[in-house]
Amino acid sequence: MSQAVARAASFLFVPASRPERFEKALESGAHCVILDLEDAVPPDQKAQAREQLAQRLPGFTRAQLARTLVRINADGTSWHAEDLRMLARCVGQGLAGAMVPKAESASALRSVGMALGPDAKLVPLVESLAGLDEVDSLAGTPQVCRLAFGHLDFQLDLGMRCGPAETELTSVRFALVAASRRAGLPSPIDGVTVATGDAERLQADTERARGFGFGAKLCIHPAQVRAVNEAFSPSAADVEWARRVVEGAQARQGEAFSMDGKMVDLPVIRLAQQTLQRAG
């Protein structure tokens, strides 16, 4: 599994038709970059965008390729097969893999994996009721390394009109987190915040995602990256607390003990261990 994709907290979309933005995206602080051949590219520009991408990707360093995904066009579109043929060559050069939109069946995901080769990592986007119905199958498909939630397309698919807090999507977010846990995948990736200039909205969306158990978020502007990274990363105080818990547990050979007036038992110790892992 590509550790860059598995451990990333921020995934920044960049239109594949705008190669002049690639370097800025890679230097934005985003843990992973998604070069988008799907929604960000108009139909009459898709072939040109794919060709530009094929020309630019060989110029990426190995480290850059390892944290780069390409969002392909969905199965059933006229661009899907050509996207796969182009990407198969790039995966052999070190590209992490593909984000797969409109993911609705394990068989379609397996076909993408076979086309790209065994080294390609897949991040399926759950964007429809059909995708939600198959979420456990999607999570258990070979080469899938994380699930992602396309909450805007999901609302469109069901004719939903969600409020700012998106309480209407509570059960869907829980389903993605639970499916990831059952499949042994890293925590899933939550959807975008479209209000790129609204820091309060971004913070609220990110805190909601973290509260549900998501481990990352999709970004559509470099200005969103820093706040997302900080929200999903333990603070210095969190790390210090976790270090003290782990050291205390080791000294007592895992037995429950009291620290700062609170009981520390196995669930607390495991939380501290996870905190230290997230801190790197």
pLDDT score, position 276:
84
Chain-wide mean pLDDT for the chain? Answer: 94
Domain limits, the chain: 3-232, 236-278
- 18-64 tens-digit pLDDT: 999 999 999 999 999 999 999 999 999 999 999 999 999 999 999 99
Residues recorded for the chain: 280
Percent of the chain with pLDDT over 70: 99
Residue of 252 and 254 predicted with greater confidence: 252
Residue of 267 and 137 predicted with greater confidence: 137
**153 marked ligand binding residue:** yes
pLDDT score, position 15:
97
> Cα(72)–Cα(90) distance, rounded to whole angstroms?
13
Cα of 126 vs its chain's centroid, Å: 12
pLDDT at residue 1 tops 50: no
For the beta carbon of residue 176, count every other beta carbon within 10 angstroms: 29
pLDDT score, position 101:
98
**71 marked ligand binding residue:** yes
pLDDT score, position 83:
97
pLDDT score, position 280:
67
- 89-124 tens-digit pLDDT: 899 889 999 999 999 999 999 999 999 999 999 999
pLDDT score, position 92:
86
For the domain made up of 3-232, give the CATH fold: TIM Barrel (3.20.20)
pLDDT score, position 230:
92
**265 marked ligand binding residue:** no
pLDDT score, position 128:
98
Give 277's pLDDT tier (boundaries 50, 70, 90): confident
- 147-197 tens-digit pLDDT: 999 999 999 999 999 999 999 999 999 999 999 999 999 999 999 999 999
Three-class DSSP labels, the chain: CCHHHHHCCEEEEEECCCHHHHHHHHCCCCCEEEEECCCCCCHHHHHHHHHHHHHHHHHCCHHHHHCEEEECCCCCCCCHHHHHHHHHHHHCCCCCEEEECCCCCHHHHHHHHHHHCCCCEEEEEECCHHHHHCHHHHHCCCCECCCEECHHHHHHHHCCCCCCCCHHHHHHHHHHHHHHHHHCCCCCEECCCCCCCCHHHHHHHHHHHHHHCCCEEEECCHHHHHHHHHHHCCCHHHHHHHHHHHHHHHHCCCCCEEECCEEECHHHHHHHHHHHHHCC
pLDDT score, position 2:
54
